[in-house]
Structure 1
């Protein structure tokens, strides 16, 4: 039997070739179908890449009030690790307080906490995707994700703000001008502002359904700016967006839009081509473009302007609106950042009510008719950050230490502040966990007043030791700094001046051999005779030489009493906050202190805690000098006279 058949005209035709072709086509279709199914139901499936928790617990609304003046204590705290995704510049962590909740947004996703207790309420994360923005309007919260390595894969996910329940998802939409500083993009009146790939058209997307509800072409030759760290901002009734415009002028512009209707409220030219920084308060829009800081009311009328290319430094000037006053912090023109000034203006008249020089505040918040200002250092020589509570009527205020340390230069976002429900919320960057870093959120309440001033956390001034008396003569001789000159350093905390030196710098004698006698500011007599036996303070080694064979001279040495806390537990928290804000910190268990860390790339700085005292010892040379001195400090504080 032959596997063929006859065509007309007697020519045979093979059946096997047709079957092979049909089989190949069927196989290709099956492979394509499998690829589609795998991409849709495996690679793109929600069940494995999404971690979503919700809540049915009610939330208690918060009053508009912060903590009372006085010492502050930690009510609760949470740490969010920085997420370094595939898109540079969007690896910060941002917070917001609203409706009795604290929202934490990072590249990893959303975390929502109970604002009173810090308990987790709901969260949302997507594996293989990075959160690059979020928006909030009324009772809805929307997150914007991009797939790692594929910026064309975009996704909006909408939630009920209180429960975290999923409302809808929409692919392809692109938010209008996401702020790298806050990861937020404008939304209001249940409408989200999005744009096209060319950034020349605005769209309004319903936060209820995810459908587009209006379309607004931008002025000819203009497109939305993405160059600034904060190119847009918004609230429920108004959104402000920076525009890059071509043409002869080529200055940036600020466009104010009604998010509910999609209509332009006003359009103002700025003074530079640079992408501006935009911030919105409840009734005032602020914009800084590298030439000046300008303030506009809701109708676009100027409220005030402050000239100077460094008026806001590297970020938007901190500002709040309270009791009809715009209170802001800026650098006056010509000072180049050497002077920081706080000023209050009436809105909308722009009349200046008062101004005064202040520390370089890192953040401001307003609640209950008070302004809360975060200063990175309570004092230059002291460890904790400080919080000033300012009366907006005249600028007077009080100061209290914050129970944490702040390093504004760390990545992960600038310090942030908010107040509600009798609590003060502070988000501060930290280097730990290393190397990615994190942002730590503190909820602060009013603390115990104590018997001392509020500026010292309730600790009496008399509890602070004399930094030049911590080390004795025998300790200095053992560390080979007996011939060094002691220079005391004093400090103030707010209006309180500490009666004794908080730091002591021991400087080596002049090279010509003219060694001046060491200055003393202590009342006790100089120790003489045999040294008190102590296992943690080794004796000096005679004839010690350096690597090159010469005497290893000891350079400048300093001992700083950075803080005296009310309890050892509070001091331990302060030391932990200090090391968490350092790029390099290693625990030292051979110092004899309750806790100790070696800080920095070289072994020249040691921070230690002995009971309520936090002390920093610095010795630049030779190697091991800082450790020897730190052991002596630990012994003296453990065994006071």
Structure 2
């Protein structure tokens, strides 16, 4: 009987082990892996020429929420004729020329928290959902997607939350121990450990920073040492380490064999961000932004705790010059400084004010810069093509909208093969959102200036002519005066107002009109704009979800939704209360109605809340934000936004008036 009980217990244990290994943790149902045998040609190092841009192809990657906070973004890389999209859901690799899928890798129940590449090898790091102690490194051939090796328990060294990358080079990827006190070099070809380097005594790798490490990208990784043996090369990895009772350190490491090439002190107690370019290393530590050569010599420095803000300063190396975009102390948001520093002399070749670039890219000696907005009051993002020799730039609109404050993907640019690649975050599909990747090529010239996408300036309507006195009287705002706002793009100035804010001409808070409640000849009451900041032309110009969320007034004032998601059709009743914060703005005029529709959809995609309004007689209309105070609509080639703080129903009624007047204007034009 005893032997039978022992045998039964052993059988149960054996069954449990077999089920755990071959069913619960089996690869056959967890892994979805596709490979390719199609060759791909490398792309030339050149981007599109200055001028209009058109969409070549695009793709959207949904945000995957994993168990590790802060690592749920999407990151991209262009190299060797391919585009790699890395997210918590796994890897998707596409042909960079046309977006055709090449290979992919996903694991059910696991989240991708990091990836890196070196010498046509790509390594991904996964953690099991709910059990972060279960870690896995998987090595792939970057061109075919074939799996080369797997290694359990290994931990990558200082993964960046901003790019999901960690350092690699010379055919070796860097890993660390659980205490983050030792660096290891793992062959990207075989997965075997090649070297071990302890960090300085008491020091640990930074993990709290958004970008605590970096290395040369795959396109810059030097050739040689394909077996990962660690033969000398020019690769360099930079890692920030925190040390007790002293300032942190920036370590430059040769990934081929683990030698520490040089070390520099950092500000104490800060979480630094690191960027490695081909010939330069940048570090922002909360006290300053500093640039070093690959040999550790200081090139330049910019002091200030806000020099880079909450993100690493955009920077590229072009024509032997380090081009950096930094914040200016005492200047408002959206006014940054772009400087070109000669390497290695450190002299400033040129410097100029720029409109807060969100990302930079370089190809063929040309710098491309992404504007979050083409100009104040306008909807699309913009792209500047900058000459690194003297800083001269030309501006063109981008066929998408962006909100740099949306989570999920940092604004990103790359250029190769005559294409410009841009990635931006979107709020749709809600609630988690997605990252949108757009490949752009040079488009045909229009009849108007390139700064406006080829649309003549005379095709832009006057924003102050879209509402008449009767329209304002219908919402009890006939006592308001129009304050127009104009804008310009590059050297092109639009002759008509693009935004019109209607301000009260009487003291609304006191409820008294001019001449009431004061002695004859006394001072007239001061004329104060009513409403909040979003009622002004400047704030209303923002096309992002953050701004529009604030522009819609108090919650709970929205009309009851009907089955299509908008307000009830015919909900024109406006309470006899004063309108607050009334603005009408022409956000964009496209070459075709189809292009205008795409721009309106791009605006809707970056809003945290959006509902279609089929009851408004326009090509399409959306209600933006938590209440019914902001409505974006398209009529023909024109995209207009009507922003009314309150009362409810005023925005819809005015939007109908604007739609009708635009249709009449378009017919006359």
| Same fold at TM > 0.5 | yes
Q: Where do 1:404-553 residues align within 5 Å?
A: 404-511=400-507, 512-514=512-514, 546=575, 551-553=576-578
Q: C-alpha separation between the residues in 1 aligned to 2:366 and 2:622?
A: 38
Instruction: Classify the secondary structure of the residue corresponding to 1:42.
Output: helix
Tell me, yes or no, if the aligned pair for 1:379 and 1:491 is still in contact at 8 Å: yes
Gaps of 5+ in 2: 222-234, 516-523, 528-567
Deviation at 1:217, TM superposition (A): 1.1
Q: C-alpha separation between the residues in 2 aligned to 1:314 and 1:595?
A: 37
Given the alignment of the two structures, is residue 107 of structure 1 paired with residue 88 of structure 2, yes or no?
yes
Q: C-alpha separation between the residues in 2 aligned to 1:540 and 1:260?
A: 71
Equivalent position to 1:561, from 564, 570, 586: 586
Instruction: Classify the secondary structure of the residue corresponding to 1:639.
Output: helix
Deviation at 1:246, TM superposition (A): 1.7
Instruction: Classify the secondary structure of the residue corresponding to 2:656.
Output: helix
Equivalent position to 1:171, from 125, 142, 152: 152
Q: C-alpha separation between the residues in 2 aligned to 1:633 and 1:554?
A: 17
Tell me, yes or no, if the aligned pair for 1:479 and 1:540 is still in contact at 8 Å: no
Tell me, yes or no, if the aligned pair for 2:423 and 2:435 is still in contact at 8 Å: yes
Q: C-alpha separation between the residues in 1 aligned to 2:91 and 2:175?
A: 20
Superimposed CA distance per residue, residues 427-486 of structure 1 (whole angstroms, 9 cap, x where no aligned partner): 001100111011100101111210100100000000000111122333333333322211
Per the alignment, residue 242 of structure 1 pairs with: 240
Superimposed CA distance per residue, residues 574-632 of structure 1 (whole angstroms, 9 cap, x where no aligned partner): 01110110110011100011111000001000000111100000111211110011111
Q: Where do 1:12-91 residues align within 5 Å?
A: 20-91=1-72
Tell me, yes or no, if the aligned pair for 2:477 and 2:578 is still in contact at 8 Å: no
Given the alignment of the two structures, is residue 304 of structure 1 paired with residue 300 of structure 2, yes or no?
yes
Instruction: Classify the secondary structure of the residue corresponding to 2:471.
Output: helix
Tell me, yes or no, if the aligned pair for 1:537 and 1:632 is still in contact at 8 Å: no
Q: C-alpha separation between the residues in 2 aligned to 1:578 and 1:538?
A: 25
Q: C-alpha separation between the residues in 1 aligned to 2:581 and 2:206?
A: 51
Equivalent position to 1:586, from 589, 608, 611: 611
Q: C-alpha separation between the residues in 2 aligned to 1:41 and 1:70?
A: 58
Given the alignment of the two structures, is residue 213 of structure 1 paired with residue 206 of structure 2, yes or no?
no
Q: C-alpha separation between the residues in 2 aligned to 1:426 and 1:620?
A: 34
Deviation at 1:220, TM superposition (A): 1.1
Deviation at 1:540, TM superposition (A): 7.8
Per the alignment, residue 633 of structure 1 pairs with: 658
Per the alignment, residue 226 of structure 1 pairs with: 207
Per the alignment, residue 261 of structure 2 pairs with: 265
Q: C-alpha separation between the residues in 2 aligned to 1:135 and 1:539?
A: 55
Per the alignment, residue 619 of structure 1 pairs with: 644
Tell me, yes or no, if the aligned pair for 1:468 and 1:503 is still in contact at 8 Å: yes
CA 1:89–1:312 in structure 2 vs 1: closer, same or farther (change >3 Å)? same
Instruction: Classify the secondary structure of the residue corresponding to 1:116.
Output: coil
Instruction: Classify the secondary structure of the residue corresponding to 1:412.
Output: coil
Give the number of aligned pairs.
595
Instruction: Classify the secondary structure of the residue corresponding to 1:403.
Output: coil
Tell me, yes or no, if the aligned pair for 1:451 and 1:459 is still in contact at 8 Å: yes
CA 1:540–1:162 in structure 2 vs 1: closer, same or farther (change >3 Å)? closer
Superimposed CA distance per residue, residues 167-221 of structure 1 (whole angstroms, 9 cap, x where no aligned partner): 1111011000000000000011110100111111111001111100111111111
CA 1:174–1:233 in structure 2 vs 1: closer, same or farther (change >3 Å)? same
Q: C-alpha separation between the residues in 1 aligned to 2:65 and 2:589?
A: 37
Scaled by the length of structure 2, what TM-score is found? 0.87
Deviation at 1:99, TM superposition (A): 0.4
Tell me, yes or no, if the aligned pair for 1:310 and 1:337 is still in contact at 8 Å: no
CA 1:338–1:426 in structure 2 vs 1: closer, same or farther (change >3 Å)? closer
Instruction: Classify the secondary structure of the residue corresponding to 2:600.
Output: helix
Q: C-alpha separation between the residues in 1 aligned to 2:612 and 2:332?
A: 39
Per the alignment, residue 376 of structure 2 pairs with: 380
Scaled by the length of structure 1, what TM-score is found? 0.91
Instruction: Classify the secondary structure of the residue corresponding to 2:140.
Output: strand
Tell me, yes or no, if the aligned pair for 1:308 and 1:332 is still in contact at 8 Å: no
Tell me, yes or no, if the aligned pair for 1:62 and 1:99 is still in contact at 8 Å: yes
For the pair shown, the structure with the greater C-alpha radius of gyration is 1
Given the alignment of the two structures, is residue 126 of structure 1 paired with residue 107 of structure 2, yes or no?
yes
Q: C-alpha separation between the residues in 1 aligned to 2:269 and 2:391?
A: 35
Tell me, yes or no, if the aligned pair for 2:571 and 2:649 is still in contact at 8 Å: no
Tell me, yes or no, if the aligned pair for 1:329 and 1:361 is still in contact at 8 Å: yes
Instruction: Classify the secondary structure of the residue corresponding to 2:446.
Output: coil
Tell me, yes or no, if the aligned pair for 2:572 and 2:652 is still in contact at 8 Å: no
Gaps of 5+ in 1: 1-19, 518-535
Tell me, yes or no, if the aligned pair for 1:344 and 1:355 is still in contact at 8 Å: yes
Tell me, yes or no, if the aligned pair for 2:476 and 2:577 is still in contact at 8 Å: no
Tell me, yes or no, if the aligned pair for 1:178 and 1:184 is still in contact at 8 Å: yes
Q: C-alpha separation between the residues in 1 aligned to 2:289 and 2:77?
A: 24
Deviation at 1:146, TM superposition (A): 0.4
Per the alignment, residue 161 of structure 2 pairs with: 180
Given the alignment of the two structures, is residue 364 of structure 1 paired with residue 360 of structure 2, yes or no?
yes
Deviation at 1:228, TM superposition (A): 0.6
Could you tell which deviates more after superposition, 265-274 or 373-382? Answer: 265-274
Deviation at 1:335, TM superposition (A): 4.4
CA 1:108–1:32 in structure 2 vs 1: closer, same or farther (change >3 Å)? same
Deviation at 1:273, TM superposition (A): 2.2
Given the alignment of the two structures, is residue 353 of structure 1 paired with residue 349 of structure 2, yes or no?
yes
Q: C-alpha separation between the residues in 2 aligned to 1:391 and 1:540?
A: 53
Superimposed CA distance per residue, residues 484-510 of structure 1 (whole angstroms, 9 cap, x where no aligned partner): 211111111122110000011112331
Instruction: Classify the secondary structure of the residue corresponding to 1:295.
Output: strand
Superimposed CA distance per residue, residues 234-291 of structure 1 (whole angstroms, 9 cap, x where no aligned partner): 12301001111123xx211011111112111111111232121001110100000000
Q: C-alpha separation between the residues in 2 aligned to 1:481 and 1:539?
A: 18
Tell me, yes or no, if the aligned pair for 1:369 and 1:392 is still in contact at 8 Å: yes
Deviation at 1:539, TM superposition (A): 11
Tell me, yes or no, if the aligned pair for 2:282 and 2:290 is still in contact at 8 Å: yes
Tell me, yes or no, if the aligned pair for 2:577 and 2:647 is still in contact at 8 Å: yes
